[in-house]
Amino acid sequence: MSKSNCSDCTCRLANEVGQLKAIVNAQSRTLAKLVRQMKEGCKKDEEAKESTLCGLNPCLKCLQPDILYHLGLNTETTDFPKVFGDVRFVCMGGTPGRMENFAYYVMQEIGLKINAATKLRNISEAGQRFSLFKVGPVLCASHGMGCPSISILLHELIKMMYHAKCKDPVFIRIGTSGGIGVEPGTVIISSEAIDGRLNPAHEILVHGASVQHASQLDESLADEIKMCHDPCKDSYEAVIGRTLCAHDFYEGQSRLDGAFCEYTPEMKKSYLETLQSQQVKNIEMESLAFAALTSRANIRGAVVCVAILNRLNGDQIKTSHDVLSKWEKRPQELVARYIRKVLYHNDDDDESEQPEDEAEAGAGGAGDTQKAPAEEAE
């Protein structure tokens, strides 16, 4: 055997030993946790009887089965508590591809692994509308564009949390936006969502009448995510500010480059300057529905978006694809750090769950990651 073959082989063996070590470590952590739970008289199982969501449709319990049509799932063919009962974070973003990448990224960041030959499965493939991936306690979903689209997804994800009896799930939207007076590439964590009239409410028409739902976001969650930004190490800024949610990309955001435009550049300038004077930091298209629906259900919610241009300087997005994809990772990075922190540093009972180093964090819940999407959601 040549020298280089031999060192390749040693290297592969060392890798495999490392991976096995990680799996054994993760299993002993899980075992220790289970023993602790048994000692506590299965208190956790008792607590898991209902979800913590509030204000939901009282008829939900009568729907047998409940069909989550756009997710391609129903309560008869999927055991929701078993498959989704451990979900603690629901992350959503515009496109299926971005959310699939985020699922792999978060998997690595929270130290989970799947077999190299296995792929994460899109659990919602049958619905043909949204993509949905599960990585241990993290669900990653794509929501499409605009409030009607994210609203359908949220109704079905909230029902999923209810049927699965999830406890205090945190919902986070990660996305892109147009900045107002901020350097492109800045990450904006929304303090609240407002509409084009600067009202903090999501208006829907029910039976032809206007119904307004408050669009507040969880302030402490915004602060916790902001704290995951390191101004010394991160090469970009992260700020907390108000987010204007428009129902359109062009006229609704006062662009001059849409197919139609019935206002002047001066009117646009004046509107955007008014927004800036009212601490609006960015414009996007989903935060109103996201904030309204999560807060109605008593779910802590946050919106974390990168600004891909400064709207005070123009309308068209001229930044290269490569730079845009680098910027799009910034909200993902902060949110993954937040999730990692909650999972490994906040649980007072969980010293043993902390990853000792990157390799050992690797196997925590690997089987879980593989099974939930690939097998249990069938």
CA 28/CA 20 separation, integer angstroms: 12
Tell whether residue 330 is among the known ligand binding residues: no
| Stretch 172-231 residues interacting with ligand R2B (CB under 6 A) | 175-177
Nearer to ligand R2B, 153 or 363 (CB): 153
Residue 324 lies near ligand R2B (rule: CB under 6 A): no
Tell whether residue 176 is among the known ligand binding residues: yes
Contact set with ligand URA (CB under 6 A): 176-178, 249, 253, 283-285, 308
Indicate which of ligand R2B, ligand URA, none lies near residue 141 (CB less than 5 to 8 Å, by partner kind): none
CA 161/CA 171 separation, integer angstroms: 11
From the centroid of its chain, how far is CA 259? 33
Torsion of CA 47, 53, 131, 244, to 10 degrees: -140
Indicate which of ligand URA, ligand R2B, none lies near residue 151 (CB less than 5 to 8 Å, by partner kind): none
From the CB of 245, what's the least distance to ligand R2B, in Å? 8
Six token digits for residue 274:
């008014």
Nearer to ligand URA, 75 or 142 (CB): 142
| Stretch 247-286 residues interacting with ligand R2B (CB under 6 A) | 249, 284-286
Indicate which of ligand URA, ligand R2B, none lies near residue 286 (CB less than 5 to 8 Å, by partner kind): ligand R2B
Per-residue contact flags (x/-) with ligand R2B for residues 82 to 101, judged by CB under 6 A: ------------x-------
CA 336/CA 137 separation, integer angstroms: 12
Instruction: Decide: 312 and 85 in contact? Cβ < 8 Å.
Output: no
Six token digits for residue 27:
């299993």
Question: To which residue do tokens 């299965």 refer?
Answer: 42
- Report cis status (omega within 30 of 0) of the bond before 81: no
Interacting residues of 266 by C-beta distance below 8 A, sequence separation 6+ = none
Indicate which of ligand R2B, ligand URA, none lies near residue 94 (CB less than 5 to 8 Å, by partner kind): ligand R2B
Q: Count CB-CB contacts under 10 A for residue 3.
A: 7
Site residues for ligand R2B per CB under 6 A: 94, 145, 175-177, 249, 284-286
Binding residues: 129, 173-176, 253, 255
